[in-house]
Amino acid sequence: MDIIDQAMTIEQQGEALYRSFANDLSDKGAIYIFSWLADQEKRHYDIFQKIKQGEAAPIGKSSDLQGVRDVFLDWKDSISRLGVQFPQIELYRQALDVEEKSVRLYEEGARTVADEATRTAFLNIAIEEKAHRQIMKNIIEFVIKPEYWTENAEFGYRGEDYYL
């Protein structure tokens, strides 16, 4: 399996995983985030499919992260814990692992491909996957933090951009 096929497989797995998360949760913010992530994975798959077919695959700009940021700010101001059970956290960790694998694969792909357009595609998608990885880290932290952390007013403020 060549690197483009591997990339397409990872993107399909990520999309399916995020869609299943969106279907399993009732929190509108969580549904928004996971649907957004699934849409991004689908967009990446389509880009790799065009590359594989030898077509021009402009990366374009990923959709804005402002909606994701707003969800985290809403969560921060509420007492909601997303209704997540601890076994689901392991699923989120699996999603984080998928994001980490994709970043490694795309950075490796950028080093090994000869075509400059493909190299650029790998690098740009790797940057977007790093943002997805950070979002998953933040969700995991947000979900498990109440289990082990008591907030202290003196040390608790992280600023608006902490979760992104």
On whether the CB atoms of residues 61 and 128 are closer than 8 A, the answer is: no
- Assign 3-class secondary structure to the chain: CCHHHHHHHHHHHHHHHHHHHHHHCCCHHHHHHHHHHHHHHHHHHHHHHHHHCCCCCCCCCCCCCHHHHHHHHHHHHCCCCCCCCHHHHHHHHHHHHHHHHHHHHHHHHHHHCCCHHHHHHHHHHHHHHHHHHHHHHHHHHHHHHHHHCCCCCCCCCCCCCCCC
User: What's the rounded mean pLDDT across residues 102-124?
Assistant: 91
Residue 17 belongs to domain with CATH number: 1.20.1260.10
The answer as to whether 128 is a domain residue is yes
Give 149's pLDDT tier (boundaries 50, 70, 90). Answer: low
- Cα 132 from Cα 65, distance rounded (Å): 10
CA angle in degrees (0–180, nearest 5) for 104-108-113: 150
- pLDDT of 154 > 60? The answer is no
Number of Cβ within 10 Å of residue 149's Cβ equals 10
User: Is residue 47, in this structure, part of any structural domain at all?
Assistant: yes
30, amino acid identity: A
Ranking 8-22, 104-118, 133-147 by mean pLDDT, the lowest is 133-147
In a domain, 153, yes or no: no
The arithmetic mean of pLDDT across residues 16-26, rounded, is 88
Does 57 score more than 80 pLDDT?
Answer: no
Per-residue pLDDT, averaged over 131-142, amounts to 87
Q: Is it the case that residue 143 has pLDDT exceeding 90?
A: no
Of 67, 61, 62, 64, the C-alpha closest to 31 is: 67
8 A C-beta contact, residue 108 and residue 67: no
Rounded percentage of the chain residues whose pLDDT exceeds 90: 31
- Cα–Cα dist 136/94, whole Å: 10
Number of domains forming the structure of the chain: 1
Instruction: Give the range of the structural domain holding residue 101, as residue numbers without chain letter.
Output: 3-148
If you search the block for the tokens 């990885």, which residue do you land on? 133
Q: Report yes or no on 162 lying in a domain.
A: no
